[in-house]
Amino acid sequence: MKAYKEMTTEELQALRADLHAEYKEYQSRHLELNMARGKPGADQLNLSMGMMDVLSSSDDLTCEDGTDCRNYGVLDGIAEAKQLIADMMEVNVDNIIIYGNSSLNVMYDTVARAMTHGIMGNTPWCKLDKVKFLCPVPGYDRHFAITQYFGVEMINIPMHADGPDMDMIEKLVAEDDAIKGIWCVPKYSNPTGNSYSDEVVRRFARLKPAAKDFRIFWDNAYGIHHLYDDVQDELIEILDECKKAGNPDMVYKFASTSKISFPGSGIAALATSHNNMEDIKKQLTIQTIGHDKVNQLRHVRFFGDINGMKEHMRLHANILRPKFEMVLNIFREELGGLEIGSWIEPKGGYFISFDALPGCAKSIVSRCKKAGVILTGAGATYPYGKDPDDSNIRIAPSYPPVADLEIATRLFCLCVKLVSVDQILAERA
Amino acid sequence: MKAYKEMTTEELQALRADLHAEYKEYQSRHLELNMARGKPGADQLNLSMGMMDVLSSSDDLTCEDGTDCRNYGVLDGIAEAKQLIADMMEVNVDNIIIYGNSSLNVMYDTVARAMTHGIMGNTPWCKLDKVKFLCPVPGYDRHFAITQYFGVEMINIPMHADGPDMDMIEKLVAEDDAIKGIWCVPKYSNPTGNSYSDEVVRRFARLKPAAKDFRIFWDNAYGIHHLYDDVQDELIEILDECKKAGNPDMVYKFASTSKISFPGSGIAALATSHNNMEDIKKQLTIQTIGHDKVNQLRHVRFFGDINGMKEHMRLHANILRPKFEMVLNIFREELGGLEIGSWIEPKGGYFISFDALPGCAKSIVSRCKKAGVILTGAGATYPYGKDPDDSNIRIAPSYPPVADLEIATRLFCLCVKLVSVDQILAERA
């Protein structure tokens, strides 16, 4: 394929006419497809239906330690659920607090508590003139929404292939004690799909922040969400590494079973140091009597242990892998060599990150929408919804059935071409 | 029976010797009984075991509107759960937000949001010099713990037979714009067991608070938790009454199914005006993608509708009624005419409130504990854990089996006698 920018203006104009005709044809099909959110597809949800059978009226809903899961009590989770989730999060069972159904809610709570009560005796953030967070970009829109909601100033940090720009992070946190946190999705990152290298994790653990209450918000959302059996990203465990580096309290690690069992009906958890746990429990005991233990028990009975859970994730991968591969194959086929976009080929997670020519992302998303394909809004992957280059688009291949996904992806590529041609012609005019 | 204070000192000394002997006998039995918390007993939990069967792997987990409950989405609850809970809370379905498993958590969140973001555009409470809450006493310790955690100054309001002292409330809220809320358990109140009269509810709805962001925190925890079929407390519905009175936004009404299905595995909800709902949803959409819809569906499939739920509550009442009646019978039998304590005979809810002679509550609870019976800590029913009269003790008869409950209640009466005799003798010395 010839790169667009090497084509003559006449060639581009002819191409544009063809592309427009093709686009009109798509529009006439009145599509209604959605690649906006990282939602599992119906066939993935079917994998967990056995969860509805593991607790019946003839079963004993008692924990190994004798706790009746049907009644009040147990603030931080039943022992067997802690063990399962600790194994999933690769931490010690003593560092786990089990929460409700949403890790996003745990992250929200963590920021909200720091706002009103401060972290481990430090000044509540709401009493400070300025609180700042570092935000590797592109990143997860719902993270940025939490800090924006609380009036936290967000600073973009470029994401490289091996993780965020550590030189910049080290410098900023050492200089500015208003920087209180950083949002990270270290493994199969949302949306870039890459994972942090060993060196990046080691440098995170060895940060020397000016603020005593600086915390790494380590959202381990895709810890066991591999696409392949043989090629898997493995990260250094951050709690352990922080401890080794003499920074034991510097990290909050979050995870949930949302994309393992049922989104919205899973269990979420926080892993952190003893000091942080003691600090958090002062709030937790005011906030609730306890989270849903029956659902915790349901997860334990269904998965058995971490091996059962990993086996279950292979079944998810069997459904997701063909979808990811189809999108990537179409990208290569349709866009390869055109030099109008680049993308990362992830080995896990839920997203493919696409970088269009600067200034094109919004138009591409808008064109897709007008032909019936909903994508995550352009800019959503940046704080305040502002992508300075208007370039990044997050593709979520998991939800649509394969046939729909193919149509949506081809339309997406068409829109990339159309918008890119328009842009190049406009630059030449 | 002769009132203690009318007995001679010699009579009291002889009585004390007998009571001590009896107490020693109890101590030798090494009891381990608990009447501290309003927890349902195991036989009550058994009533809801059918809930474990209503969703199986062969069932369709789809809502009436086509929503797949197994996937992400639906911020404020599935339509059929909203209808069920709206009927339970006696409000319009459009005024309901379904939350997670804990109404306490909803109340916490409501205060936390007011702290950081304010209510409907008013100044965030954390930016004010002083925030105050009115607290009808005795009341629910976990309510007071929330406001204490956020540094809110709590003001005691005496509770009368028909509800809190409305003269005092009307005066205080009209005068002081730092008063931002009041904690209420309007029906079968925790711990007094009484319900607010029509006049009290009407006066609540017609308050003229100086603070625009004053809210009534109406914890309808025991809305359908009657002990009897024929004698039931019925309250005027507060949302509707506030609307009629021109104060549509003045109330947040809370409830859950914690003592209907399984505590900790039920569903909680907030009912309030449209303006308040819009205000709250600005937070909710940042906080979570949605609560546990599978559990919402489970509740709908199990109860069917409000009639099914009310029928279910009759089964709870059949278990609770004999326990309440046993405690009250023993009180009458053991303490009647002695003039060393008074109590209310509730027609619903989870508690019996006992008022000992002033200065005796702590000692009674301590004596019970030393003989193996745990009660709610004396003072717990007051803000800051401080009962100015050291008189009120909350009795929770629901959890122990009947045989244990009888022993615990008799021991309690013995301790009341012992401590009262000591107190009267000390006053005479």
Token pair, residue B3, equals: 């009132």
- CA B123, CA B116: separation in Å to the nearest integer? 9
Stretch (H or E) spanning A403: helix A402-428
Torsion angle of alpha carbons A328, A329, A332, A333, nearest 10°? -150
Place of tokens 């020519």: A357
- CA A107, CA A105: separation in Å to the nearest integer? 5
What are the backbone dihedrals phi and psi of residue B92, each rounded to the nearest 5 degrees, phi first? -70, 145
Cβ contacts (< 8 Å) between B37 and chain A: which residues? Answer: 72
Window A:267-326, CB contacts with B under 8 Å: 283, 286-295
Does B157 touch chain A if contact means CB atoms closer than 8 Å?
A: no
CB–CB contact A71 B262 (8 Å): yes
Confidence of residue A151 (pLDDT cuts 50, 70, 90): very high
Q: Packing angle between helix A361-370 and helix A402-428, nearest 10 degrees?
A: 130
Torsion angle of alpha carbons A252, A257, A259, A260, nearest 10°? 140
| Amino acid B429: pLDDT | 86
Cβ contacts (< 8 Å) between B142 and chain A: which residues? Answer: 286, 289
Find the closest chain B residue to A259 by CA distance: B71
Stretch (H or E) spanning B10: helix B9-27
What are the backbone dihedrals phi and psi of residue B268, each rounded to the nearest 5 degrees, phi first? -110, 160
Q: Is the pLDDT of residue A98 over 90?
A: yes
Question: By CB neighbour count within 10 A (0-12 exposed, 13-18 middle, 19+ buried), where does B330 fall?
Answer: middle
Please tell me the distance in Å from A22's CA to the nearest CA on chain B.
34
Choose the closest CB to B37 out of A72, A108, A265. A72
* CA proximity to A412, closest of A331, A357, A305: A331
Write the secondary structure of B235-287 as one string of H (helix), E (strand) and C (coil).
CCCHHHHHHHCCCCCCEEEEEECCCCCCCCCCCEEEECCHHHHHHHHHHHHHH
- CA A408, CA A397: separation in Å to the nearest integer? 10
CB–CB contact A265 B73 (8 Å): no
Phi-psi region of B66 (alpha: psi -120 to 50; beta: other; left: phi over 0): left
Window A:381-400, CB contacts with B under 8 Å: none
CB–CB contact B149 A291 (8 Å): no
Find the closest chain B residue to A399 by CA distance: B71
Q: What ipTM was assigned to the predicted interfaces of this complex?
A: 0.97
Place of tokens 């009657």: B226
Stretch (H or E) spanning A173: helix A166-175
CB–CB contact A263 B116 (8 Å): no
pLDDT in tens, chain B (429 residues): 799 999 999 999 999 999 999 999 999 999 999 998 899 999 999 999 999 999 999 999 999 999 999 999 999 999 999 999 999 999 999 999 999 999 999 999 999 999 999 999 999 999 999 999 999 999 999 999 999 999 999 999 999 999 999 999 999 999 999 999 999 999 999 999 999 999 999 999 999 999 999 999 999 999 999 999 999 999 999 999 999 999 999 999 999 999 999 999 999 999 999 999 999 999 999 999 999 999 999 999 999 999 999 999 999 999 999 999 999 999 999 999 999 999 999 999 999 999 999 999 999 999 999 999 999 999 999 999 999 999 999 999 999 999 999 999 999 999 999 999 999 999 998
Cβ contacts (< 8 Å) between B75 and chain A: which residues? Answer: none
Cβ contacts (< 8 Å) between B104 and chain A: which residues? Answer: 287-289
Please tell me the distance in Å from B291's CA to the nearest CA on chain A.
6
Does A107 touch chain B if contact means CB atoms closer than 8 Å?
A: no
Place of tokens 């600067």: A358
Encode pLDDT of B206-236 as tens digits.
999 999 999 999 999 999 999 999 999 999 9
Instruction: Say how many CB pairs under 8 Å bridge A and B.
Output: 162
Choose the closest CB to A100 out of B101, B286, B289. B101
Q: Is the pLDDT of residue A118 over 80?
A: yes
Find the closest chain A residue to B287 by CA distance: A105
CB–CB contact A57 B52 (8 Å): yes
Domains of chain B with CATH codes: 4-45+310-428 (3.90.1150.10), 63-303 (3.40.640.10)
Window B:231-250, CB contacts with A under 8 Å: none
Encode pLDDT of A233-258 as tens digits.
999 999 999 999 999 999 999 999 99
| Amino acid B37: pLDDT | 87
| Amino acid A1: pLDDT | 75
